Amino acid sequence: MNIEEYISSGILEAYVLGELMEAEMAEVQHNISLYPALRAELVKIEETQEKLLIQLAIKPSERVKSKLFEKINEKPAGKVVQLEQSSFTTWRYATAASVALAFITSYLAFNYWNKWKASESNLTELIAQNQRIAQDYNNVNLRLDQIESDLKVTSNPDFARVVMKGTVNAPQSLATVYWNQQTQEVFLSVQSMKELSKENQYQLWAIIDGKPVDCGVFDSNLAGVFKMKNIFNSPVTFAVTVEPRGGKPSPTLETMQVAGNLAKG
Amino acid sequence: MIKKDQSVLDYLYNHYSGALYGVVFRILKKEETAEEVLQDVFLKIWDKIDGYDPAKGKLFTWMVNIARNQAIDKTRSKEISKSKKTDDLDILVNRFDRQENFEIPVDTIGLKEVLQKLSPDQLFVVSQLYLKGYSQSEVAEEFNIPLGTVKTRLRLAMIELRSLLDIK
């Protein structure tokens, strides 16, 4: 049974208002004995009605009460069974009271169980949230480390900066090489390069004494400042060509994308 | 009969006679008849209390439904038809004269404010059911609102009233 649907049909409100046929009433009674969630909802509807009607109370005149008790005391009570009935009725009320107490206790237990469940799910959610935040924090930290190490290269005066501009093949492309003569390190940062098919990669070349020297391959989505292969002699020009994935020993010059000369200094 | 039992009845009367009389009076609109029915209601409660089953609902719900049924039965009895001949048909169909506006008692001004917080649609349904004593199907028929809509509005109003009446 779909409890939500059953509740939203309004049948519990109709039950509390005493508007149901006998068969429907029996059905509701059966269902509330099966599903604690239905019972909890019913109790809320009943409490709402009770509180509403108590606030809407109209005080009847005193004579009603006195007449009522007169009438009750008129009722003949069998003298012989009086004592027996008395103790029996007492027991009956004691039983009713203990049943009511058990009922209240189980309702409270159910209530607390619900609250506990809610807290538990809140806790799980918070833990997950915490993990997400920790993950984000780690990512930010990594990114910060990256930026710091990039900055060490780009702001270091020992690095010569070579801007490689787009050739006729790719006028919009732009990339920058940083070369350190002392340590012979080469770094590359891509400002804008076209996306390549999976089969191809970009390859960076240093032209030394008129000969191209391989500086390594990279993909078009390269982020930050990326370390390439060291070169041992002072280059004149840096250039990037498109080559099959993994690179080639010598460049395919007609695919040249960007190129730039090292400033003499 | 037994003293102890009467103290139970005394307790129930002291705590609930006002709420039950409110229900009965709103249906019958006549003090004399309403008082008579209220007495019958408590006699019935007194008689049938052993048959009350907590598994089926709260004691108050059980008592209120006895009160409602007694009052509705009364509207259908000859006694009422005779005493209000001119309204005979109206009363049989509608339980009481609709033209008459029922005033919310002064001591429930707080409640009036609470009820004003309901949307007009919800307030209308709650007033018809709880202040005027209609049943849901009567509201649907009389005001030409689909029964499903009446039920939905009542349901939403009852949920709204939970927070307004501070039911956790």
* pLDDT 10s digits, B124-137: 999 888 877 888 99
Higher pLDDT: B2 or B42? It is B42
Residues in chain B closer than 8 A to A9 (CB atoms): 151
The total of structural domains in chain B comes to 2
Looking at residue A205, its pLDDT comes to 93
In a shared domain, residues B9 and B33: yes
- Interface touch A59/B18, C-beta < 8 Å: yes
Nearest CA in chain A to B58: A46
In a shared domain, residues B26 and B78: yes
Total residues found in chain A within this entry? 265
In a shared domain, residues B14 and B92: yes
To test the contact with chain B by mutation, choose from A27, A49, A87 the residue with the greatest count of B C-beta atoms within 10 A, namely: A49
In a shared domain, residues B153 and B166: yes
Residue span of the structural domain in which B75 resides: 1-97
Enter the DSSP assignment of B129.
I
Residues in chain A closer than 8 A to B137 (CB atoms): 19
**Fold that domain A159-261 belongs to in CATH:** Immunoglobulin-like (2.60.40)
Looking at residue A75, its pLDDT comes to 65
Give the lowest-confidence range in A164-168, A183-187, B79-83. Answer: B79-83
| Among candidate residues A193, A186, A191, the one with its CA nearest the CA of residue A238 | A186
In a shared domain, residues B128 and B59: no
Taking the CA atoms of residue B126, residue B130, residue B134 and residue B138 in that order, the dihedral angle to the nearest 10 degrees is 20
Domain map (residue ranges) of chain A: 1-54, 86-152, 159-261
Which pTM was predicted? Answer: 0.51
Higher pLDDT: A175 or B85? It is A175
To test the contact with chain A by mutation, choose from B165, B166, B168 the residue with the greatest count of A C-beta atoms within 10 A, namely: B165
Looking at residue A111, its pLDDT comes to 86
Total Cβ atoms within 10 A of residue A78: 9
- Burial class of residue A177 (count of CB atoms within 10 Å of its CB; 0-12, 13-18, 19+): buried
In a shared domain, residues B109 and B69: no
In a shared domain, residues B91 and B158: no
Nearest CA in chain B to A59: B18
pLDDT in tens, B55-86: 899 999 999 999 999 998 888 875 555 444 44
CA gap B140, B151 in Å, rounded: 9
